[in-house]
Chain A
Amino acid sequence: MTFPKLVRRERASLSVMIAAPFVALAIAALSNLVLYAAIGVNPLAVFKAMLIDPFTSYFSFSEILLKAGPLLLIAQGLAIGFRAKVFNIGAEGQFVLGAICASAIPVYMPQATGAWIWPTMLVFGMLGGLAWASITAFWRVRLNANEILVSLMLSFLALQLLNYLLLGPWKDPMGFNFPQSVMFQYDALLPILLPGTRVNISLILALLVTLAAWFFVQRSFAGYRLEVGGLAPNAARYAGFSQSGAIWLSLLIGGAAAGLAGAAEVAGPVGQLQRSISTGYGFAAIIVAYLGGLHPIGILFSSFLMAALYIGGDNAMVSAKLPIAAVNVFQGSLLLAYLIAATFVRRKLVWPQGARA
């Protein structure tokens, strides 16, 4: 029995590259038709709600931008580490720590006013995420502890820390013992960017971070050292690039970006510290980073795509009465189809000689 082999194409054609996402969309849509027929939901209503409605009104489009912001921030930070083969899986925990540290200001100074508050909160958030990631970096460098495991486990610790604060010292004294902090005062909330929506200034920050990431990856010597360390560790060592330096830098950048995203979330649409500040942004951002090919510009698009998928999925439940499980199936099959299509843009199937006789 012989199997065909995947062989890298010498050149990927531009038209195939452009067609790939649409082919993936068509395949995912077709394969889900059967499912909708089986559960008695009108498939056109589903596709309209999922793929078209998010783009047809100012408000729902602004919600995509709102959702894309944290994904973009976290994914840019993670991708830098992933390129250097430092796998920070704990962005969720760094996000939570960012949210906690940022919340310290309005929690301890609920009456404070002034334009300094929200920028300081963002800085606190960044430092919080950075500090949380530094624990992973320290043990990786010191004891060679696997950074995937350490950072992932630290995410669960972060959640317990959040629970502790919300059930104990940071609980809203007027909140009937519900695990949430006070609502933040006006000056502790990020300025709104697009009037009438919830899109705030953090979107600009995310775009600036994207620009910075592009510059870092494409133009800076530090970025080059990281990249070499990831592609050819031995060559990097021979060239005298410090491996532990690469680990520290990767994790600190990822942690700071995730912490900033966490701060922007509590100071943005949430407006208080509560249990469910993250809807899994830290984990979704890993998918976003890889979907975007670990490239700053690619991530810009993939974060936008993921956000649209999330909003579309919610829409499908509200407008097309699709159960959550079917929404997840559609999103999953779309991502799967896209990854397969993307693979075939760069590679082709080659049958072994004689096998097809």
Chain B
Amino acid sequence: MTNTLNRRNFIAGASLATLITAVGARAQAATPEDPLLVTLVIPSPVADVGWGHALFEALETVKADYGEAMQITVVENIYEGPDADRIMNKAVAEGTKFLVAGSFGYQNGAMQIARRNPDVTVLHASGFMVAPNFSPFAAQYSQGTYLMGMAAAALSKTGKLGSVSAFAIPELITSLNAFVLGAQRINPDIELSVVWLNSWFDPAKAQESTEALAAQDCDVIFSNAQDTPSVVSKAEEIGIYSFNLNSSMKAYAPKTYLGCVLTDWSPFFRASIEAHLAGNFKGANAFLGVGDDVVKVVDWSPDIPADVVAQIKEVEAAIADGSFSPFTGPIMKADGSEGVAAGVTMTNEEVIGMDWHVKGVTTPLPG
């Protein structure tokens, strides 16, 4: 509760007639002793798993350090558009000083808030705009999905992988590309089929798509940015392997769970909140991966052969210390042209804007 109701307020709230009193009883001006109000806005429900859940968990972890000095408000299921703009404005008007805009579609509205309120720090998921008090943040999922690709190739009997993916934005395309590149490290002929759902959260469509992929002989399914465990539980039911991003869904597939590319945002949120409170926050593009302790691969399936596990661990260590990037040439594009020349590594900027598929992805990009 941001505004504690006093007795006068209480009566005002109870009777519809005394609207005017309620105006006078709005939030008081902030004093230094006031707790830091943090608001998280996300496009899907917080639920028990998935993207929103990972963001919320991380904020809760940071809150544990601050106790009463920090308060979190979660606003869930918010369409990307005028509604989100209003809600973020409302949150800031009620005293929010640290805003986490949890979807790329909130970009324009969140940026306007940052410009109009220099004392508010805004973290924005998956975008590309930067301002002194506005940082876009994204996970380098590709580092984790590359490792998953290696495991998937070792376990796939058909040589066909599948993915149920949300939107064909660079972040997700990159995850898929790294997944295929990792798999090709083990089996050069492996292929990937993708179903684009155009939704972060659609349990029914996610299930149907998993069935469709299984019917096309795909025997490892990548649940790409789905905030529902539907893909994972469906894969278990069919008896094929699956993995997902953000938070572990092992409970939904105890037998055929390949693992989870987990995101732990708490190191990033903690650093940002500390900087905000110290008054030295500096907006910058935060593209965080295994080396930042933000991306972690956990809950590996026990079925992965020991020699592949050893290889995975080796690559993981090389990614963490920065000596290896999944996007090192030669990489061929799906259309047969050259994507990255031999020996060249794509820059972060190039990876963030990646809008083409690597060779081995059989489904063309939408549009």
Contact = CB atoms under 8 A, between A and B. Distances in A.
Interface of A: 42, 44-45, 47-48, 51-53, 55-57, 59-60, 63, 66, 159, 163-164, 166-169, 171, 176-180, 183, 198, 265, 269-272, 274-277, 279, 311, 314-315, 317-321, 323-325
A277 B16 contact: no
A53 B355 CA distance: 44
Contacts of B46: 323
Contact of B170 (A176, A269, A311, A323): A176
Contacts of A167: 168, 365-367
Contacts of A275: 80, 105, 167, 198
Q: Which of B5, B26, B367 has the most CB of A within 10 A?
A: B367
B1 interface: yes
Contacts of B91: 318
Interface stretch (B82-90, B176-184, B261-269, B340-348): B82-90
Contact of B5 (A48, A166, A178): A48
Given A168-B366, A178-B104, A324-B45, A318 B81 contact: no
Contacts of B2: 319
A319 to B, nearest CB: 6
B82 A318 contact: no
Contacts of B76: 317, 323-324
B22 A48 contact: yes
| A interface secondary structure, majority | helix
Contact of A324 (B77, B85, B173, B354): B77
Contacts of A59: 93
A177 B357 CA distance: 13
B132 interface: no
Contact of B13 (A52, A171, A265): A52
Interface string B1-37: 1110100011011101001001100100000000000
Interface string B33-60: 0000001000001100000000000000
A47 B13 contact: yes
A167 B14 CA distance: 49
24 contacts: A48-B9, A52-B12, A52-B22, A56-B19, A63-B86, A66-B82, A159-B198, A167-B367, A176-B353, A177-B168, A177-B169, A178-B104, A180-B105, A270-B81, A271-B108, A274-B105, A275-B105, A275-B198, A277-B81, A314-B86, A315-B90, A321-B1, A321-B73, A323-B74
A344 B104 CA distance: 47
B367 A198 contact: no
Contact of A314 (B14, B90, B128): B90
Interface residues of B, number: 52
Contacts of A178: 104, 169-170
In the A-B complex, the 7 residue pairs with the smallest Cβ-Cβ separation, listed nearest first, are A167-B367, A168-B367, A269-B82, A48-B13, A177-B355, A324-B77, A279-B79
B352 interface: yes
B1 A320 contact: yes
Interface in B288-341: none
Q: Which of A166, A318, A321 has the most CB of B within 10 A?
A: A318
Contact of A183 (B26, B108, B352, B366): B108
Contact of B353 (A48, A56, A177, A179): A177
B367 A171 contact: yes
A41 to B, nearest CB: 8
A2 to B, nearest CB: 40
A320 B91 CA distance: 11
B5 A176 contact: no
Contact of A163 (B14, B87, B355, B366): B366
B10 to A, nearest CB: 6
Contacts of A63: 86
B211 interface: no
Nearest to A317: B75
A338 to B, nearest CB: 16
Contacts of A169: 367
B79 A52 contact: no
B80 A56 contact: no
B80 A276 contact: yes
Contacts of B39: 318
A56 to B, nearest CB: 5
Contacts of A321: 1, 73-74
Contacts of B365: 167
Contacts of A325: 45
Contacts of A176: 128, 169-170, 352-353, 355
B94 interface: yes
Given A59-B93, A164-B366, 5 more contacts: A52-B16, A176-B170, A180-B105, A314-B78, A314-B87
A319 B3 contact: yes
Contacts of A56: 19, 22-23, 26
A42 B5 contact: yes
A92 B100 CA distance: 30
Nearest to A311: B86
A318 B94 contact: yes
A41 B319 CA distance: 46
Given A56-B19, A176-B128, A321-B1, A276 B366 contact: no
